[in-house]
Amino acid sequence: MATEPHALLSYEDYAAIDDDERYEVLDGVLTPMGPAPFIRHQLVAPQIWRALDDYAKRTRTGIALIAPTDVVLESMRPATVLQPDVLYLCDRAKLTKANVQGPPDVVVEVLSASTARKDAIRKLALYERFGVQEFWMVPLHADRIEVLRLGQDGRFGNPLLFKVGDILTTPLLPGFELDVASVFPEELGD
């Protein structure tokens, strides 16, 4: 890559990386995604995507995407390019052939032990700063979905907790219903 070590990256710098690794760019800093998530993560994320995708197809009001999808929140140096586990866009105009330009309406991060701190602190702050309307955090150890909604003040409010037995709804997607129990697989053996 043609940038100086420790230089803050632009989206162009990021897009020029030619290796088999997955990265995000957090305020210009290239951040490796690390090893593949555990199986439970890979079972939960598609369940949420499937529910959002079914809603999008039924209502023709948007599009649901699953990782890896680059979400370019800032393209100039320092860039911010994230790959949420699942996202929902009401405005298809944000789609390009290569990525999503601008904040999705809903972002979902399934919190693995190795990513929980980054997702729940650093990425939460970026999603808030760039105006994501809803941020859904899914802590795998708790079998629940925590929904943070952006307030009039541009800040996320206290999380709404949806646990097994609850139906998650959102004012952003009228008629959307997610049975939280359907998201979580039976416990996997050791």
Whole-prediction pTM: 0.93
On average, the pLDDT of the chain sits at 93
Domains, the chain:
11-182 (3.90.1570.10)
pLDDT digits (tens, 9 = 90+) for 23-53: 999 999 999 998 888 899 999 999 999 999 9
187 vs 97: CA distance, rounded Å: 38
Helix, strand, coil % over all residues of the chain, rounded to 5:
25, 30, 45
